[in-house]
Amino acid sequence: MNQEKFFTNKDQQKLLLEMQKEITSCDEVYLIYPFISKAILNRIVTSFDYCLEHHIPIKIISTTFDDLSQFNNLKELVKIAEKYSNIEIKIEDNLEKHSERIHIKASIFKRKNGNHSAIIGSSNLTYNGMIAGREWNVKIFSKNPKDSNDIVNQMICEFDSLWEENFVDFKNLQERDFLLQRVKENQMSKIQIDNIEDSKFLSMRRYLFKFQKEIINKLSYRRFQNKNKHLIVMATGTGKTTVAAFDFKRLQENQTKELRLLFIAHQKEIIDQAIVTYRQVLNDLNFGKVLYDGAFIDEKPKHLFTTIQSLSNRLDFFNPDDFDVIVFDEAHHLAANSFDKVFNYFKPQEVLGLTATPEREDLQDISKYFDNEFAYELRLWEAINQKLLCPFDYYCIDDTTTNLQGVDLTSDRAIFQKINTDSRNKLLFDVIEKYLGIYARPTCLIFCATVEHAKIIANYLKAKNLRAEYLTSENNKERMRILHEFKNGRINYLCVVNIFNEGIDVPEINTIILLRPTSSKTVYLQQLGRGLRKTTLKNRLEVYDLIANIDSKYDLTVGIKNLFEQGMKVTDFTNGKNFLPYDCTIRLEKQTEQLILESLKKWYHNKNQLQLDVIKYYKQHKNQALLQMIKEYELSIYDFYNKLDELFLKVACQGKSRLLHQNDTRRNKNIIKQFIFLNNYQIINYFYLRLTNKLSDSEIDLDYDNLLMTCFLYEVTSLDKFLAIYPNYLEIPDLVTNFINSHQIIVEEILMILEYKMENENLIFETTRHKLLNMKSTYTVKQALAAIGRTNFLWYRQELKIITFQAGYLTFDLSKQIILADEDGNGYGKMTRYDSGSQKFYWSLPEKMTVAHKIVQDFKTTSIVKYLFIHNKQNYHHSKLFLKLYDFVGEGNYIQMHQENALTVEFQIIDSNYK
């Protein structure tokens, strides 16, 4: 019987010997340790030799930790990877990959019989950790190898999940060498970014995160569609300039001539940072010239980085066609006269706009410069939830010292006159004393109303023996010194007005205090964004918002509501943590909670005007009404349809004279549901081209047509129902064209949905040997049946095949089998577990099914292809859009039957890229 063990290192080498015994008695080894030393690797090398000889695979995950790898011998790991073909190594590159730092210290020993074991505890794979230090570790075993809740099984699944993250794979020699070179440089000296001529910059090679690669691919797709104006909306700190630089690099790689670049911003700090980024990405220390502060240029550079002010003053020096690519950073400034003038003067091949907040304070819409659409949008909530920015703790502080009723929030002077009081300053100090502590050493940014206000607050805090300073346009000459001391902790509280809103980057900021209200969403998000950058040593951001009663004509929550998930209701606000991004919190003091709730109620009441606005939008924007409303009301397409129910279709029917059957809004709404959750590009693109009559006869694919008709005829479950709709179907040579011509309203609506998806969602582009079944793609039950060839609505394709399907499993044509596995097991059988690492799929039979059932016998028949699907619950939050959705996992081979709480079938996935 397996017995758990406890190790303390009192008996030196005992833990290490136990690990070696486990390594040589298992079928696969998982090791995950932040620190791995040569001393321990030398002690277990004989175990590695044994594993190589007996073909036992080993996977190792480690980390650079502090980007210096002071406690991790990467060189020895390289030697291990090169010597042992059975060992795979991946390194979490914390600073480059924006990952959460790994602190896990564990070894897992997998066995084919399911009797897995693991050692987990406080020890690193170092001499002190395994032998000399005071450590606690335990050895545990799988108590129920087939139970997904078993602790060791959960550890295996978690390791498999980590293995699929975007770590540096030592098999990729280029990535590995980049990592080793950068760590070496960091160990030698700290690179100073302020000196943009420092050759060490080129060792700091830039990488793209997964989401940034998606943006680059999206831009390429847009160019394939002959679009050349692209507005990218990304939260502050998620690498807008890096995306622009890599996009330029890809453009240049696809050109035979050298492309000319113009990069425009409105502050020189942005220009300095941007040219550094481009030089690193392009690996060219001399790339580009800068122009600002009235500098003189006597020749036209091929690549120019300039402020808008300097460019406007020298605009006549350039010809309209001097640049091929123009990038407007902080593009929300475009509507200003100077930007507008420049935008309309030049005639480039490509225009790229970068912004965190496309909404201007004067309510002008900058998307008009980019054909009224966003090329890509990654808002604050999504960025934090994807762990690209650090989480926050948000404190809404009652400000009973100030009443801002009747005060113009666009007037800095008016606000200053109200909040510049001794009682308000005391409130600030009380907040610092209560929440931070007067002996704390935060890197705290304090946003003030005016320059005078910033000086007053800084001097007030100095008088309280706090290390404070102010940074404004008046002391700009001392900027570098102040910023250096702020970054390095010699200044803890930096009072600013607007100079920090854009252009200055201090990722170390871990605390923000908002002393003044704002009516601008743009200003609010930029202020908050100053503290959301991730660093190795910063776990989270603390925000203290001093909230006073403001005039009712302003929205108190103009900024705060952007912290919450779209679709949150007013009544949910007090339980806001559930609607905040990952690991974020919000705390409301009594008066603040009441003020915010009242403001939210007012805001949501206005959002209810959405239904009344439908008619206006439909008349004004015609077939673009849906896209326009979703953008302007900041709704997802799912929230939009869930909120409006059938109303939009009713309005569409009223607005046009249609046949009676087209006004069946309930049926039309259910048809729409078949298209809303599609996520496969090939399917969506074909549907769009087919519905717009852009396919030639030779391009029409009857398999795709059948899938399209399956969506249209979602309610048809028998031949009789089909005949009720198409009694003379044999006389219709093309059912799809017939449907398009007779259902123009619903087709127009579907086209808007498909267009929205292609323009705004990250669709699946992967192709497989299956035409309609792409891994990770989402299907309704009827779509899945059509995709595998079980149903057919096209008489001219093959024999009509229309069935009722409720069981979740089916064998047909003596050669195909489908399993739709639910996590809850209601009717469709229960998906016990899907292991993406081992590509194992476990499905428990419904209660009344026995091993004698035909479906079970069919599992064992190798000539029958098994198509496996797992339940997708993405639409559960939208009650009015509910329908069962499934993701295709792949084809599976029957392995064995397990007797657990229920009979469970084990499949091996043989054709899948589903992770």
824 or 860: which carries more pLDDT confidence?
Answer: 860
pLDDT, residue 328, reads 92
Contacts of 860 (CB under 8 A, 6+ apart): 894
Nearest to 330 by CA among 352, 309, 355, 359: 355
Q: What are the beta bridge partners of residue 899?
A: 903
Q: How many domains does the chain have?
A: 5
Please report where in the chains the tokens 């078993």 appear, as a residue.
Answer: 150
Overall average pLDDT of the 136-159 stretch: 87
Residue 193 lies in a domain: no
| pLDDT of 587 over the 60 cut | yes
Q: Give 291's contacts (C-beta < 8 A, 6+ positions apart).
A: 297, 304, 305, 306, 307, 310, 311, 314
Q: Is the pLDDT of residue 623 over 60?
A: yes
Question: How far, in Å, CA of 271 to CA of 289, rounded?
Answer: 10
What's the DSSP call for residue 77? H
CA distances from 383 to 356, 624, 873 (A): 11, 28, 22
Residue 787 resides in a domain: no
**pLDDT confidence of residue 8:** 87
Residue 415 near residue 516 (C-beta atoms within 8 A): yes
pLDDT of residue 72: 54
Local confidence band at 87 (pLDDT 50, 70, 90 cut-offs): very high
Number of Cβ atoms within 10 Å of the Cβ of 646: 18
Question: What are 213-262's pLDDT values in tens digits?
Answer: 888 888 888 887 789 999 998 877 788 899 999 999 999 988 889 999 99
Last residue of a domain, one of 540, 570, 599: 599
Same domain, 722 and 819: no
pLDDT of residue 906 exceeding 50: yes
- Determine the Cα–Cα distance for residues 834 and 836; give it in Å rounded to an integer: 6
8 A C-beta contact, residue 891 and residue 880: no
From residue 12, how far is each of 131, 134, 461, 675 by CA, in Å? 5, 11, 54, 63
The residue with tokens 């003189």 is: 296
Task: Give the Cα separation of 763 and 682 in Å (integer).
Answer: 9
Mean pLDDT computed over 194-215: 59
- At residue 27's C-alpha, the angle toward residues 25 and 30, to 5°, is 95
Residue 188 lies in a domain: no
Residues 697 and 617 in one domain: yes
Type and span of the H or E element at 79:
helix 74-83
Please answer whether residues 474 and 486 qualify as being in contact, where contact means their C-beta atoms are separated by less than 8 angstroms.
no
pLDDT above 50 (res 332): yes
CA-to-CA dists, residue 395 to 544, 586, 593, angstroms: 5, 6, 11
pLDDT-wise least confident of 121-130, 167-176, 730-739? 167-176
pLDDT of residue 444: 96
Beta strands in 156-240 (DSSP E): 168-169, 229-234
Q: Tell me, yes or no, whether 784 lies in a domain.
A: no
- Considering the domain architecture, whether residues 119 and 219 belong to the same structural domain is answered as no
In the predicted model, is pLDDT for residue 720 greater than 70? yes
Specify the CATH number for the domain of residue 156.
Answer: 3.30.870.10
pLDDT tops 60 at residue 824? no
pLDDT higher than threshold 50 for residue 97: no
What does DSSP say about strands 392-404 and 376-378: parallel, antiparallel, or unpaired?
unpaired
618 and 561 together in one domain: no
Closest among 514, 586, 590, 602 to 551, alpha carbons compared: 602
Q: Which of 470-479, 636-645, 650-659 has the lowest mean pLDDT?
A: 650-659
- Check pLDDT > 80 for residue 202: no
Q: Are residues 329 and 225 in the same domain?
A: yes
Regarding whether 395 and 373 lie in a shared domain, the answer is: no
- Report CA dihedral (248, 251, 256, 261) to the nearest 10 degrees: -30
**Residue among 125, 96, 104 nearest 183 (CA):** 96
The dihedral region occupied by 888, where left means phi > 0, alpha psi between -120 and 50, and beta the remainder, is beta
φ, ψ for residue 392 (rounded to 5)? Answer: -135, 155
Q: 826 Cβ partners below 8 Å, 6+ apart?
A: none
Q: What are phi and psi of 252, to 5 degrees?
A: -65, -40
Cα separation, 488 vs 495, in Å, equals 16
Q: Compute the distance between CA of residue 264 and CA of residue 270 in angstroms, rounded to an integer.
A: 9
pLDDT at 367 (0 to 100): 74
CATH label of the domain that carries residue 508: 3.40.50.300
Residue 726 lies in a domain: yes
Q: Are 443 and 506 in contact (CB under 8 A)?
A: yes
For residue 637, give the nearest of 566, 558, 740 by alpha carbon.
566
Quote the pLDDT of residue 568.
57
Can you tell me the mean pLDDT for 821-838? 64
- Which H helix or E strand runs over 291? strand 289-291
Last residue of a domain, one of 315, 346, 378: 378
Residue 386 has pLDDT above 90, yes or no: no
Same domain, 526 and 629: no
Q: What is the DSSP secondary structure assignment for residue 581, as one 8-state letter?
A: S
What confidence score (pLDDT) does residue 99 get? 46
> What is the model's pLDDT at position 914?
43
Identify the band that residue 829 occupies on the pLDDT scale cut at 50, 70 and 90.
Answer: low
Number of H helices, E strands in the chain: 31, 30
Could you give the CA distance from residue 108 to residue 19 in angstroms, rounded to a whole number?
A: 10
Task: Give the position of tokens 């192709």.
Answer: 767
Q: Give the orientation angle of helix 240-253 with respect to helix 268-282, to 10 degrees.
A: 40
What is the C-alpha to C-alpha distance for residues 419 and 449, in angstroms, rounded to an integer? 9
Asked if 208 and 177 sit in the same domain, the reply is no
> Is the pLDDT at 562 greater than 50, yes or no?
yes
Q: Does the CA dihedral 656-722-781-807 come out positive or negative?
A: positive
Structural domain contains residue 384: no
| Percent share of the chain, pLDDT over 70 | 78
Across residues 539-564, what is the average pLDDT?
75
- The CATH number that applies at residue 850 is 2.30.280.20
CA 203 distance to own-chain centroid? 28
Provide the pLDDT for residue 509: 93
> Are 29 and 147 within one domain?
yes
Q: Which two tokens stand for residue 216?
A: 């680059």
Distance CA 428, CA 466 (A): 12
Helix axes 702-712, 665-676, angle to 10 degrees: 130
- CA dist 915 to 135, 160, 169, 833, 873, Å? 35, 10, 17, 13, 16
Which residues span the domain enclosing 472?
A: 389-599
799 within some domain: no
Average pLDDT on 696-722 reads: 91
Residue 792 maps to a domain: no
Q: Which of 294-303, 506-515, 590-599 has the highest mean pLDDT?
A: 506-515
Local confidence band at 131 (pLDDT 50, 70, 90 cut-offs) = confident
- Count CB neighbours of 401 within 10 A: 17
Task: Looking at the structure, tell me whether residues 59 and 175 fall in a common domain.
Answer: yes
Query: Which pair of structure tokens corresponds to residue 808?
Result: 């979740």
Q: What is the mean pLDDT of the chain?
A: 80
Digit-coded pLDDT (tens) for 177-189: 777 776 665 554 3
Strands 830-835 and 840-844: what pairing? antiparallel
Lowest mean pLDDT among 306-310, 367-371, 465-469, 670-674: 367-371
d(CA 843, CA 245): 47
Please tell me whether residues 307 and 219 are part of one structural domain. Answer: yes
Q: What is d(CA 828, CA 808) in angstroms, rounded to the nearest whole number?
A: 4
776's torsion region: left (phi>0), alpha (psi -120 to 50) or beta? left
pLDDT confidence of 29, banded at 50, 70, 90? Answer: very high
Residue 322 sits in the same domain as residue 398: no
Going from the C-alpha of 176 to that of each of 61, 70, 191, 495, the distances in angstroms are 14, 17, 20, 42
Amino acid at position 572, single letter: D
Q: What letters, b where the CB count within 10 A reaches 16 and e where it falls short, cover 419-449?
A: bbeeebbebbeebbeebbeeeeebbbbbbbb
Residue 591 confidence (pLDDT): 78
Please identify, among 599, 619, 653, the residue that sits at the C-terminal boundary of a domain: 599
Show the tokens assigned to 434. Answer: 């209560």
Give DSSP secondary structure letters for 640-660: HHHHHTTHHHHHHHHHS---G
